Structure 1
Amino acid sequence: MDLYTEADTDRDEFWARQARRLSWASSWSNVLDWSAAPVARWFVGGRLNVAYNCVDRHVEAGLGSRVAIHWEGESGESRAITYAELQREVSRAANGLASLGLVAGDRVAIQLPMIPEAVVAMLACARLGLVHSVVFGGFSPAALRSRIEDAAARVLITADGQFRRGGAVPMKPGADEAVAGTSVEHVVVVRRTGSSVDWSERDLWWHDLVDAQSDTHVPESFDAEHPLFILYTSGTTGRPKGILHTSGGYLTQAAYTHSVVFDLRPESDVYWCTADVGWVTGHSYIVYGPLANGATQVIYEGTPDTPHQGRHFEIIQKYGVTIYYTAPTLIRTFMKWGADIPAAYDLSSLRVLGSVGEPINPEAWLWYSEHIGAGRCPIVDTWWQTETGAMMISPLPGAETKPGSAQRALPGIGASIVDDSGVPVGPGETGYLVLDKPWPSMLRGIWGDPERFRETYWSRFSGFYFAGDGAKYDSDGDIWLLGRVDDVMNVSGHRISTTEVESALVSHPSVAEAAVVGAADETTGQGIVAFVILRGGADGAVEELRNHVAKEIGPIAKPRQVLVVPELPKTRSGKIMRRLLRDVAENRAVGDTTTLADSSVMELIAKGLA
């Protein structure tokens, strides 16, 4: 019986079998309680410790000498950390955090570069039942602060700095700005670059807190629904949403999907996911999924073009990487750099390639297959979200694949494409992607805002989770993702709301009004294009505005273009018609303007940009 048939025959038993791949301190009474929908309870009454499942049980199984992490720094420094060493490091860190008076349920914010301490900190939190909130290292102090305040974090773990493009970039000054006047009692600082930092009574060096601790720690088990982490994602209202994930169901699906989608062979594979732990891909497919499966993986701190454009291929060759999981944005960048670069390295160890973060265009898929996979590696094009917690739609290795299509829901997952009325569409038809059955790693809510959770995800279609993406079936019934249908842009696989960028622009003293759209970009998937109206007497310092957004939100949100316009196209109710601005940004003929309060506005915009 294959996995699809097994899941269709008895879905609860299918997920119970996946959960039994983990180690549970006590079993569950029910696989799923959906009585309080849309809030699910999975593996009801079961108890486990997530960090024990990711580390200790592999050591107890005699795999302590297996390398868990091959860490590679941008400059070429490296560390190999075995599961036994990881167990000792996580235990020390857990003892250190416990010594600060933290108790299960407390929140810990983490903003670190891609260094082993980031993984250790996350696992130490999971070990103690602390709820971690990891913030991407490139986010600004204001973005970090908003997340700290929303979660009421008691501790921030950060670093003095990080290495990026061959230089040291400070992090501690931004952390100091972010925590001022917040709930944070302690700032724990990893010494990474050795740069001098300002120091206060709340600051502690990681090595002073952790290194002297005992390297043994007995983990406590927690309920399957105990909160594991909050991860903030952009929302259409501009205020980031704290997506809450719990322990048992999340770890079950992260481990299951990591195993089956990549055809994982933990005794021989070397796996590399190129994401950052600040995003959900890093949570599920760098930390929790691979480590729960006892995998050996590569973690890289640095950029793909430092010190040269062959850096990723050099790392694949060095470690004999067999599974490579990356984003279409990076694949398109490799294409731009040229096929001669990967051709200069031995990539023969690769056997499975993965794509994540956005729909991959067929041209990039074919280039990836030919020039990275030598035409012999299956490509698993995975669709999922921060909210889903783990992969939902993807072909399995060995299946006949189609360039650019995620194809079908994974075994145990229910997905459908519906029209405006929530009625399933047929082959060849386009509609909205929905999830029609609960799944173990589903979000359990938006932190502190249950009404927003229901309104955002469950109000559009009765009984269905609305993913916010458009999709279509082809004539074979395979799924093709078409991207976002709301006002959240997908830039290099990172979700950024138009409202957040607009708010940052309007905070500049020269900007009276702003509208932002995501325009097609052959490298990043979507590029941010901003249309701004300047205040009377202000000059059009476009570069200053781009840098202002980068400072307010982070470099990932820096607009590709800022266009100064005399007016914005609005309906009679005052709603900005972004689709018309998208037409301008993508150099298309402007569509229907009949619903505008003043249709001559588009002519003014065209003249102003001519």
Structure 2
Amino acid sequence: MMNDLIWTPSDEIIRQSNVWRLMQRHGLSSYEALILWSVEDIGRFWDAVSKDLGIRWNRPYRQVYDTSAGLPWTKWFIGGRTNLVTNCIDRHLPARANEIALLWEGEDKKVRSWTYDQLFREVSRLADALRREGIGPGDTIGIYMPMSLEMVAVLYAAFKIGAICIPIFSGFAAGPLALRLAHAEAKILFTADGSLRRGKIIEIKRSADEAAAQIPTLRKKVILRRLGNEIDWDSSRDCWYTEFVAGKSERVATEPLDAEAPALILYTSGTTGRPKGTVHTHGGCLMQIGKELAYHFDVKPEDRFFWLTDIGWMMGPWMIIGVHLQGGCVFLYEGAPNHPAPDRLWEMIDRHRLTHLGISPTAVRLLIRAGEAPVARHDLSSLRMLGSTGEPWDQESYLWFFEKIGKRKLPIMNISGGTEIIGCFLAPLPITPLKPCTLRGPGLGMDVDVFDDHGKPVRGETGHLVCKKPAPSMTRGFWKDRDRYLATYWSRWPNIWFHGDWARIDDEGYWFLHGRSDDTMKIAGRRVGPAEIESVLISHPAVSEAAAIGVPDPIKGEAIVCLVVLKPGQSADEQRLADQVTEAMGKALRPKAIRIVSDLPKTRSAKIVRRVIRAKLLGQSLGDLTSIENPAAIDEIAVLSEEEK
């Protein structure tokens, strides 16, 4: 089945697609010709995208890109001035002033919406308020909010005045929140009194308060009144959202910015424990995200687009920017997809007539548990495209999504890239057939390949996903850590971006992914480095060492199993240790199991060999053990029981 074609586009789908328009303008007649053309001359390609999408430039760029400082430091759209707000909001006025830009539903089934004109006015009021607080170009502000209309307005208000936005996952506990915002030197934090998740109040204001004490640069917290629940109040720094914007101007001009001006810092965890602040620019976000939503997802002004995500995951800003660039409607949802009933997601699609649904394989595996009956109760005929990302698919779940949700009529745009590029290295197009679980091929303009361990291209076998040419949305280094950026992505082979994913290209040119090649874990689609979990465990007074390992999980994709070494003469309860991780990192990152052992397998240089630990836990072949100094430690690790798997 894996090698069979399961979906083929009709001539009507092809000829009505946005990407077909681009192909016709440049005399391209096939998918293969388009992919080749997009990477032969990347300057020509990105210039063509700018013209085809009608990107507005306050001052045109004189050169598409410049690699004179070295490939890792490529600059884009040299001399050009623009702004994400110019293109995502301003360009649609007055023509689409009364069209719905944002549609929101809370877990309590409250529904709100804003038109493009209302969004413009709210963004202006926030921009005026931020300027009055002394916030300007280059200043950083944090967003730690549930999915809401106001959250989107904050994002755009920062863009509008040239400030840099730092969206943080709303499920994080105070520690990870403080670590990220202190590192970015945030001056203002936007949060809420609470949010709803599975019928329970999530008191994110309390976590924001705890974090604020650890952020020296923070001057103010702006709180959205979402639930009206009781919260602590710091009169010296806290301010209600409504008071913050009261009386502010509804007509604020958008600041023209250099194309290379930073717009976002998106944090992604690495294996060393220190989160990496990836830096994304106005020009880079505009072009990369705009290309993906226009061509790969074929978004049009009449569409209602929904990706089940959080603003702290790159898919949040990605969805908002890309859909609004096309003049479409973004649907936002606050809660869990199966609460209060298993059909919640399908019921919302039916009631709001959504056209695009993006979801992670993890979420699909969760929804499958309820069977087909919840799906059958609803009319999903408004959908015209499905999307997925977050981790590799298993075939059973993929086909359930394709058959039960898409009725075998809709393509699954299975995409993969990363926070580091706020976009896709691999993504299908709606003009090409699909096989189960495939990503089909390269994203347009992305010169990707699969290398073996020696840096040679391979076909038909699993290798390393790499990119051979720069792209506009590649991070401009890591925030305050240029050397680590080079070491992470550019150090394995000269002038080659090494992404850390296992990939394979089959004999017919279809691409597949097979997970991460480093130690980073993806729990329910969220990446977390083992060292972040380990540092929480080691902070316990009885713990001397810890290893956090990602193991397959039928719902989350991956779950965390931890091995802990105690200090001599000390004792600790496994459940209490798991509670400590939960309190520090959030419920989503609670370990599935914690094992107390006397030692961890290490190399002579004292590096923990997580690869071997994982293989032993799963009962797999251990591979080469010659580098391990203390092989007896491996024998102590017991294979996971069926209950633990």
TM-score of the superposition, structure 1-length normalised? Answer: 0.96
CA contact (8 A) 2:618 2:640 kept: no
Percent of aligned positions that are identical: 39
Match of 1:229 among 260, 264, 275: 264
**CA distance, structure 2, for counterparts of residue 474 and residue 609 of structure 1:** 35
CA contact (8 A) 1:71 1:115 kept: yes
**CA distance, structure 1, for counterparts of residue 546 and residue 410 of structure 2:** 45
The answer for the alignment partner of 1:92 in structure 2 is 125
Q: What amino acid maps onto 2:590 in structure 1?
A: K
The answer for the alignment partner of 1:16 in structure 2 is 47
The answer for the alignment partner of 1:254 in structure 2 is 289
Shift of the alpha carbon at 1:545? 1.1
Task: Determine whether 1:568 maps to 2:600.
Answer: yes
Task: Determine whether 1:313 maps to 2:353.
Answer: no
Shift of the alpha carbon at 1:336? 2.0
What SS is found at the alignment partner of 2:413?
A: strand
1:292-326 Cα distance to aligned partner (Å, 9 max, x none):
11111211000112111111000000111111111
CA contact (8 A) 1:565 1:609 kept: no
CA contact (8 A) 1:360 1:381 kept: no
Shift of the alpha carbon at 1:48? 0.7
**CA distance, structure 2, for counterparts of residue 589 and residue 243 of structure 1:** 36
What SS is found at the alignment partner of 2:423?
A: coil
The answer for the alignment partner of 2:562 in structure 1 is 530
User: Runs of 4+ in structure 1 displaced over 6 angstroms?
Assistant: 607-610
Change in Cα spacing, 1:539 to 1:255, as seen in structure 2 (3 Å) is: same
CA contact (8 A) 1:48 1:224 kept: yes
Shift of the alpha carbon at 1:412? 1.3
**CA distance, structure 2, for counterparts of residue 573 and residue 185 of structure 1:** 44
1:133-532 alignment runs, 5 A limit: 133-180=166-213, 182-200=216-234, 201-267=236-302, 269-285=303-319, 287-425=320-458, 427-532=459-564
The answer for the alignment partner of 2:11 in structure 1 is none
RMSD across aligned positions (CA): 1.7
CA contact (8 A) 2:613 2:637 kept: no
Q: What amino acid maps onto 2:312 in structure 1?
A: G
Task: Give the number of aligned pairs.
Answer: 606
**CA distance, structure 2, for counterparts of residue 339 and residue 136 of structure 1:** 31
Change in Cα spacing, 1:608 to 1:513, as seen in structure 2 (3 Å) is: farther
1:544-583 alignment runs, 5 A limit: 544-583=576-615
**CA distance, structure 2, for counterparts of residue 483 and residue 16 of structure 1:** 33
**CA distance, structure 1, for counterparts of residue 352 and residue 114 of structure 2:** 14
1:4-36 Cα distance to aligned partner (Å, 9 max, x none):
354256431221122232111110000011111
1:499-535 Cα distance to aligned partner (Å, 9 max, x none):
1111111111232211111111222221111111223
Q: What amino acid maps onto 2:225 in structure 1?
A: R
1:401-423 Cα distance to aligned partner (Å, 9 max, x none):
11112121022111011112212
**CA distance, structure 2, for counterparts of residue 595 and residue 167 of structure 1:** 49
What SS is found at the alignment partner of 1:531?
A: strand
CA contact (8 A) 1:358 1:493 kept: yes
The gaps in structure 2 that reach 5 residues or longer are: 1-26, 29-33
**CA distance, structure 1, for counterparts of residue 111 and residue 415 of structure 2:** 30
CA contact (8 A) 1:361 1:403 kept: no
CA contact (8 A) 1:394 1:407 kept: yes
Shift of the alpha carbon at 1:461? 1.3
What SS is found at the alignment partner of 1:397?
A: coil
Change in Cα spacing, 1:391 to 1:245, as seen in structure 2 (3 Å) is: same
**CA distance, structure 2, for counterparts of residue 455 and residue 218 of structure 1:** 41
The answer for the alignment partner of 2:3 in structure 1 is none
What SS is found at the alignment partner of 1:341?
A: helix
Shift of the alpha carbon at 1:585? 2.5
What SS is found at the alignment partner of 1:446?
A: coil
**CA distance, structure 2, for counterparts of residue 413 and residue 352 of structure 1:** 22
The answer for the alignment partner of 2:105 in structure 1 is 72
Shift of the alpha carbon at 1:289? 0.9
**CA distance, structure 2, for counterparts of residue 527 and residue 329 of structure 1:** 11
